[in-house]
Amino acid sequence: KTERTLAVIKPDAVIKVGDIIQSIYDANLTITKAKMVMLSWKQAADFYTEHQSKSFFNNLLQFVTSGPLIAMEVMGEEAVSVWRKLLGPTDSETARKEAPESLRARYGSDGTRNAGHGSDSLASAARELEFFFPSTAGHSPPNTA
Ligand code: CMP
């Protein structure tokens, strides 16, 4: 089934954007939206709200607000799971052992500085895509007068 997911290149891997885009196309996925953004602390906390009680929450926010991110809407057959498979295990050290070709194995450093993010379900993808690429349906058009 054709799906859309949110793929994020985190600050530590932005310099590898070329390789990562190549990997996305090699996996038979396509990029339908993309932007480079710097998140505020509050925006990052909002995006990662499900992790707010975790011990690593502050480190995570520190990291993802340390520089620009590249957010992409990635589309294709089974896009949610295919993109997560490309990323590999959350912890980059685990990725190097279990999935040495994965993006986190290649470009991540540890459990927090792990090169990328991918939505974990279609429901998460819908919420996370709306976060980075808000739909304008129902809003007033810009006043061009
Ligand atoms: P991500 O896929 O963006 O989802 C939540 C993020 O929190 C994760 O990637 C890591 O960057 C970070 N994270 C998840 N688990 C841990 C952990 N056990 N220790 C430190 N950071 C973590």
Residue identifier of the C-alpha nearest atom 13 of ligand 1: 112
Instruction: Judge whether 51 counts as a catalytic residue.
Output: no
Query: 56 CB under 6 A from ligand 1?
Result: yes
Alpha carbons 104 and 89: distance in angstroms, whole number: 7
pLDDT the model gives residue 95: 98
Tokens of 88: 């590999």
Out of 6, 12, 51, 60, give the residue to mutate to test ligand 1, the one with the largest number of ligand atoms within 8 Å of its CB. Answer: 60
Phi and psi at residue 133, to the nearest 5°: -130, 70
Q: Which fold has domain 2-132?
A: Alpha-Beta Plaits (3.30.70)
Mutation probe of ligand 1 site: the residue of 47, 114, 124 with most atoms within 8 A of C-beta: 114
Per residue in 97-143, pLDDT (tens digit) is 999 999 999 999 999 999 999 999 999 999 999 999 999 777 666 66
Domain layout of the chain by residue ranges: 2-132
pLDDT value of residue 136 = 79
Please give the Cα distance from 123 to 86 (Å, whole number). 20
Interface confidence, given as ipTM, is 0.94
Q: What is the per-residue pLDDT for 139?
A: 63
pLDDT tens digits for 21-64? 999 999 999 999 999 999 999 999 999 999 999 999 999 999 99
Q: Which of 69, 117, 128, 129 is flagged as catalytic?
A: 117
